[in-house]
Amino acid sequence: MLPNPIIKLGSLEIYMYGVCIAIGIVCAILVLRIFGKKIGVNKKYLDFIEMDGYLAIGLGFFFATVFQAVYNYIENPSAGFSLKGGMTFLGGLIGGALVFFIIYFIFRKKYTERFKDVMPVVPCSILIAHGFGRIGCFCAGCCYGKVVPEGKWYSWMGVNFPEIPGVVFPTQIFEAIFLFILFGILSYLCLKKKGRQNFGIYLIAYGIWRFLIEYIRGDERGQLIAGISPSQFWSILMVLGGIALVLVTKFVFFKDDKKVALVEKEEVFEEKQEEIATIEVEEPQEVIEEAKEDEALPEEVLAEEEPKATEEVNEPEVEEEEVSQKDIEDLEKLDGATSEEDKFLEETEEKAEDVKEEKIDDDKHVERMRRQLLAQKKLRDEVELESSKKSTKSLEEKLGKK
């Protein structure tokens, strides 16, 4: 316990309480920086959160004093309203949070990130700063507990402060230990388990702890509602707010997870679509080339048969029979090409069905694939029909000449 100044430089006096507060703030900023980087938060966004935090901390001390002054005035109005009656942490937390979010919502449009991106980290920063702050309270001799009864099994826990009569519970140390343990738990959740519910867990855990430890607090802190201390009143609201926040963040992160799953599914679908498109673009081209070859075949036959018709005029029937036989073979080739196209179409549709069964669950994706297959089938049918018309017309012209 060091209630007196530890350093004096002229009129400047430095107390251990102030040193502990400074250490807590530095540690809070370091945790914000290190943990934020670990979970991938943008550096410029962390700079913004840090600057916002400085303003919230500065005004938080003011609100901590105002809240305590209000409690003192409610308890004893005759003493008047004074800002020299001490501070209360929960008043500073509430006021600081209010300042933080007002500034945040004014300037947040400059950033693509949102507060939920740093929600796993912020409670860790608050906890470590608060923990060192409670050590400072112990050094200053404030926020102490009730007198410890003699002859009890827990009497050894009592501490004697210079300006406090009797041996009292060191509630500052109890709370500091709790805060550091909770800091360790939430840090693990943040770095290893994403820590999405960290803020809600902090509000619930600290609210319950603070409500219970108030029963052994011995320092005078005014009154807000009869029957419970001001801190117990705010603790109840913290627990309720924490439960609500857990439910809200669960819904928000559930929506984000669903979006990520849809994006991943879309990527898988696009990969499969590219594979199918590769197959469907290459093979129809081969079919088209075969159709062109079949289209050119009757002209070759005609070119071969015209000299024979000139030289062998006495045998027209034999020549006509040979031409007709080749024409029949050409038509059979066209039929074979058509059957190959049908077979290819069936294989493509089977591949599409396999992709649908394995990876595609979304009705929109299935509909897009179905339309694509129909469009490609229509293209093949048009190519086939055009090729058949040209081949048939060429054969009819050749036979007509004969």
Nearest of 369, 343, 340, 342 to residue 355 by alpha carbon: 369
Q: Which residues of the chain have pLDDT under 50?
A: 281-283, 297, 301-302, 305, 309-323
Q: Enter the pTM of the model.
A: 0.63
Distance CA 332, CA 322 (A): 15
**pLDDT, tens digit, for every residue of 34-69?**
999 999 999 999 999 999 999 999 999 999 999 888
Three-state DSSP state, 167 = coil
- Cα 94 to Cα 98, 99, 122, 172, 395: the distances in Å are 6, 9, 15, 20, 93
The number of helices, as runs of H, and strands, as runs of E, in the chain is 9, 2
**pLDDT, tens digit, for every residue of 262-310?**
666 666 677 777 767 666 544 455 555 555 555 554 555 445 545 554 4
Say what the pLDDT of residue 257 is. 62
Distance CA 176, CA 350 (A): 66
**pLDDT, tens digit, for every residue of 74-91?**
877 887 888 877 788 888
**C-alpha dihedral sign at 106, 112, 118, 119:** positive
Say what the pLDDT of residue 57 is. 92
Say what the pLDDT of residue 318 is. 43
Say what the pLDDT of residue 224 is. 78
Say what the pLDDT of residue 140 is. 87
Say what the pLDDT of residue 372 is. 77
Say what the pLDDT of residue 179 is. 97
